[in-house]
Structure 1
């Protein structure tokens, strides 16, 4: 089975990602197409899909939806936790995680076809989606991630070393068909370090993107895949300073150095 990990870019790839998302959320939580449209439709233009595609059939084995922030920095998870049943203060939650005023993306759903949730090959689909979420958000300059995870999936991801922490003041509550879900937050830069420290056996897959049965072209996770990035979605990088022009009349020790510039949710079904 020729499998690939990528950010869905073509209409066909995006349709395959949405199809597996819809199928899994219907099976796991009873979320009908009408519910999915009501919950996720308003965020369609700001959605990016990490997906494992079967090239032979064109179908998706699993997909994760990222929602990029609007001009105010708002994403679905932050809007939802501000209302019932949690009624959290979004500014306080971001401040507590050291993410106030920084680009925060939403891992709005994580869905793996039930046929690929067990065995080595199935487990690798989940690992691949986690790598794609980590790598794409990091390369695009996101500083933080938020989500609302079914508690069963939260336990699975924490066991994998992914450092999801409950938002300040958040408790486990019923949410969109999940009997127990928790709003979570994490720093993108902490993901690789956490997995290497707690699950070094998973680091080659989740952090480095090395898989046995899933092919990965690094370019398929580059910024620009899935659509252009809104200004609000990325970090404000410091302006690059041009390197000093070399004096070709005769060598002399340089008096300036170029500054370094950082490059910067409920089986597995999860939803926010």
Structure 2
């Protein structure tokens, strides 16, 4: 998911991984390895995560050159995340978040919880990252109750001035198209032969 300017330059992006892949949850795979070495299946069960309804937030980034608009871009991306959750019935999300990003999300009322057994540690160039999860129903309820301005802005998109959000159908996960098999051993028919 991206936020682009009118010229098509990407200013912010969020990479999401839907459940159901053969490799499993990226966050839980990361949790099982260094520096945490936590029993990821047990941690997910303790957090009440349903593997079939849990998506991964693999990347959340805004362009460094967008100083002053980074918060607005982050708000737009988090609004997109809420739309993804709604149209795809995503019950929860997991991620390994840099603590700066985590504080930003928490400030919007998208309060993340540390996965059981995990702790904040240096990870992939970040001095302080934490494996977290976000339960969407309880988060949306708490946000609506405790920070209604953020709920209107982030969850409903009311007040995202200058941001054009596509309709909900654009946030629906689409099945991958079947790859086209090309046989390099057989030459393609020429246009003349194909027409005749």
Tell me the TM-score normalized by structure 2: 0.81
Unaligned runs of 5+ in 2: 177-196
1:213-240: CA deviation from partner (whole Å, max 9, x where unpaired) = 101132454314xx427xxxxxxxxxxx
Report if aligned partners of 2:87, 2:169 keep a CA contact under 8 Å in 1.
no
Structure 1 equivalent of residue 110 of structure 2: 162
Distance in structure 1 (CA, Å) of the matches to 2:91 and 2:43: 15
Give the Å deviation of 1:157.
1.2
Change over 3 Å in CA distance of 1:179–1:209 after alignment to 2: same
- Residue from 26, 49, 66 that aligns with 2:16: 66
Change over 3 Å in CA distance of 1:220–1:62 after alignment to 2: farther
Report if aligned partners of 1:65, 1:108 keep a CA contact under 8 Å in 2.
yes
Report if aligned partners of 2:19, 2:51 keep a CA contact under 8 Å in 1.
no
1:140 aligns with 2:91: no
1:218 aligns with 2:167: yes
1:196-223: CA deviation from partner (whole Å, max 9, x where unpaired) = 2332222222110221110113245431
Structure 1 equivalent of residue 43 of structure 2: 93
Secondary structure of 1:106's match?
strand
Secondary structure of 2:35's match?
coil
Give the Å deviation of 1:82.
0.8
Distance in structure 1 (CA, Å) of the matches to 2:49 and 2:168: 28
- Residue from 154, 174, 178 that aligns with 1:206: 154
- Residue from 145, 158, 162 that aligns with 1:197: 145
Structure 2 equivalent of residue 185 of structure 1: 133
Secondary structure of 1:156's match?
helix
Secondary structure of 1:63's match?
strand
Unaligned runs of 5+ in 1: 1-49, 230-272
Distance in structure 2 (CA, Å) of the matches to 1:222 and 1:159: 24
Distance in structure 1 (CA, Å) of the matches to 2:134 and 2:170: 20
Distance in structure 1 (CA, Å) of the matches to 2:45 and 2:80: 26
Secondary structure of 1:115's match?
coil
1:89-145: CA deviation from partner (whole Å, max 9, x where unpaired) = 122111122114442110011001123342xx4422111100101211231122210
Distance in structure 2 (CA, Å) of the matches to 1:117 and 1:110: 16
Secondary structure of 2:97's match?
strand
Higher relative contact order (CA 8 A, sep 6+): 1
Report if aligned partners of 2:96, 2:132 keep a CA contact under 8 Å in 1.
yes
Aligned length: 176
Report if aligned partners of 2:32, 2:40 keep a CA contact under 8 Å in 1.
yes
1:128 aligns with 2:54: no
Change over 3 Å in CA distance of 1:117–1:149 after alignment to 2: farther
Distance in structure 1 (CA, Å) of the matches to 2:121 and 2:66: 28
